[in-house]
Structure 1
Amino acid sequence: MAEDKMNKSPQSFPMNGGDGRYSYTKNSSYQRGVVDATKEMINLAISQKLDIKHPSPNSFRIADLGCSVGPNTFISVQNIVEAVELKYQSQGLNSHIPEFEVFFIDQAANDFNTLFTSLPPNRRYFGRRCTGFFYGRLFSKASLHFVHSSYSIHWLSKVPKEVVDENSTAWNKGRINYTNAPNEVFEAYFAQYTKDMESFLYHRAEELVCGGLMVLVIQGRPNGTLHSQATPNMLFDLVGSSLMDMAKMSVKPKVDSFNLPIYTMSPRELEAVCRENGQFTVERMEQLPRVVGHSTATRAQSCTLHIRAAMERLLKEHFGHEILDELFDRYCKKLEEHSFIFDTGKGINIFALLKRKETD
């Protein structure tokens, strides 16, 4: 396992740590719903697609990319561990069930203290911390058996440099996202997405054993949907609109240099980069059932807390903490005014099951 400079992200976008009001721990119930929706799909994937080697490896290694601070990562890896155990048992290999090692991976700035102090006490695996940049290399060759990532790879490795360059035709003045922007801005974002995904798949192909599985759960948009109609982008645009409304507070010059490092992909775009990589077979790719968040707050309030938990540290680094309360107050009011987004916006969660091809 490597943790050299090549694996460090040039930019850092960790979720809010701790367990306070605006923490990711307290405001990731929607993502929890997505995790729950994948449980049976992961069980089926492991039952039907995982190659059981005999003799068994001494340890079965699982990596969760973008673990954040829990608790969703613990639920995901427990689902995987139980499914692998059941696979061995179904083949009469109870005595050959390997030990499990789970690598919780996120950026160095992630709140690993909160994560590891809340590890389930009765877990059936050894938990390991791994800091690094998952668009780069993290592990030695053929050392992982299962890779999982949920709600992480819609984040790009960085903001495309062209969109914050005043001398570029792709300068994204007055916006924080590529929707409703000139085509040059979109092209810069799409190029960064393509480059990042090519790197992601290349390195995961090196790290997975032949026959190993990778599950990706991704915030996306349906095939053929305009980016401006995708629910995530509509929500992000309201953050930008709220920032522009605060221009009178001297925020505007900083808005022109602030862009979100996020791309909302479609299943077709994901399939294209997988096909180009050529090291994986796409065993399953489909849209998850619609997830309904469980919250006593209004939809606008709940969404505001989720967005704040995910983006506060990024916004704070660029604008300072002084504007945050007013920004999200404005954002919540805009969500209430634009509540149609929750019903008419076109957003999906993509479930992709990839299998590492056998080498020649």
Structure 2
Amino acid sequence: MQREVLEGSKEMIRDAIIRKLDIKIMLSSSNTFRITEFGCSVGPNTFSAMQHVVEAVKDKAYNNHQFTNNIPEFQVFFNDHVTNDFNTLFQSLPVDKSYYASGVPGSFHGRLLPSRSIHSAHSSCTIHWLSKCPEELLDDKSPAWNKGLIYYVGASNIEVVNAYVAQFEKDMEMFFTARAEEIVPVGMMVLVSPFSGYIRLMGFFGSSLMDLVNEGMLDESLVDSFNLPMYFPSPEDMTKVVERNGCFSIEIIELTYPKSKLMDESDAKTLMINLRSSLEGLLINHFGSKIAEEACARTILKSEEISAWMKVNYEKPSQLFIVLKRK
């Protein structure tokens, strides 16, 4: 799924770099172009994304006659949480890479790099992850107590959605404030995120958990206290947080509709296996490995039901594409 998001945005990223990257200004005092990849995981998708950015910047430099005989060197900072398997990441670095690689462990909701050290930042399939679940969802006396559900879609009370939105806005304010310190003036940031349609499918994992509750294999209170720390922003959500922060100008923000093999209604099993890879760790942490395995296995077995649901209800697959420039 992550590879499809990257493939669907490749040409848009290249076009944004060619048209909007002020490479002449950024490299007026240095010949090293620094890129940060937020949410790198362990590859190989991250390597494909970074090589694509490097090649686009090289072409931009070639088109600028000032750099014809002095093409910049590239340094890529791969970022993810401290629990990420950086050993696997660096063991699988492409041998023909055209950049110097470094690892930067830590949450992207805070500062990670020196002031004004980055020329371009990229993040795909990561900004929908919240720093934590909204605290209101964990209080059974709160109006935002999300009984019987594991996320905000389908919640019966607006307080649940509002709690997710508030946490998203708080997290993105931290994210943009940190990036504003790290990115040079006129530096570019590209953010790509699946739109909200993906999270609707995660309800099938929730229904599998409730099946276990109904069979007496799982305490219902454990399901009630579990909420996915994800919020899939709309263009309006992102515009609001960017403008409130005030450090970046919006160069491009749009919903795009790349063709997706995974979203074909006949391939629901493949899609749910992809979603399982994102959710299984969270399920294990909360429910334990035995319940997590059983819930995931049961969800995969619902592929025919999921296919039928997708055929009737699923909207056209889409992703949110954003290009920002540091003021």
Structure 1 and Structure 2 fold alike (TM over 0.5): yes
Interval containing the TM-score (normalised by the shorter chain): over 0.9
Q: How many residues align?
A: 319
Following the alignment from structure 2 to structure 1, what is the Cα–Cα distance between the partners of residues 307 and 275? 15
How far 1:185 sits from its partner (Å)?
1.3
* Partner deviation per Cα, 1:73-112 (whole Å, 9 max, x = no partner): 1011001101111111111213222211101100011121
Question: In the alignment, does 2:57 pair up with 1:87?
Answer: no
SS state of the match for residue 260, structure 2? coil
1:40 maps to which residue?
A: 11
User: What TM-score results when the alignment is normalised by the length of structure 1?
Assistant: 0.84
Match of 1:308 among 276, 279, 283: 276
Question: In the alignment, does 2:284 pair up with 1:322?
Answer: no
Following the alignment from structure 2 to structure 1, what is the Cα–Cα distance between the partners of residues 76 and 266? 36
CA contact (8 A) 2:256 2:318 kept: yes
Following the alignment from structure 1 to structure 2, what is the Cα–Cα distance between the partners of residues 250 and 220? 31
1:268-307 alignment, distance < 5 Å: 268-293=236-261, 299-307=267-275
SS state of the match for residue 179, structure 2? helix
Following the alignment from structure 2 to structure 1, what is the Cα–Cα distance between the partners of residues 234 and 71? 37
Following the alignment from structure 1 to structure 2, what is the Cα–Cα distance between the partners of residues 135 and 49? 26
Worse-matched range after superposition: 49-58 or 112-121: 49-58
Worse-matched range after superposition: 310-319 or 244-253: 244-253
1:50-129 alignment, distance < 5 Å: 50-52=21-23, 53=25, 55=28, 57-92=30-65, 93-129=67-103
- The percent identity for this pair of structures is 45
2:223 maps to which residue?
A: 255
* Partner deviation per Cα, 1:118-148 (whole Å, 9 max, x = no partner): 1100101111111111111111211100000
* Partner deviation per Cα, 1:313-342 (whole Å, 9 max, x = no partner): 111111111123321222123342132443
CA contact (8 A) 2:262 2:271 kept: no
2:203 maps to which residue?
A: 237
1:216-231 alignment, distance < 5 Å: 216-221=191-196, 231=197
How far 1:297 sits from its partner (Å)?
11
Gaps of 5+ in 2: none
Q: 1:288 to 1:135 in 2, by over 3 A?
A: same
User: What TM-score results when the alignment is normalised by the length of structure 2?
Assistant: 0.92
2:314 maps to which residue?
A: 345
Following the alignment from structure 2 to structure 1, what is the Cα–Cα distance between the partners of residues 31 and 187? 16
Question: In the alignment, does 2:129 pair up with 1:155?
Answer: yes
Following the alignment from structure 1 to structure 2, what is the Cα–Cα distance between the partners of residues 341 and 196? 33
Following the alignment from structure 1 to structure 2, what is the Cα–Cα distance between the partners of residues 131 and 38? 26
How far 1:294 sits from its partner (Å)?
6.1
CA contact (8 A) 1:56 1:98 kept: no
RMSD (Å) for aligned C-alpha atoms = 1.9
Following the alignment from structure 2 to structure 1, what is the Cα–Cα distance between the partners of residues 236 and 163? 19
How far 1:113 sits from its partner (Å)?
1.7
More helix as a share of residues:
2
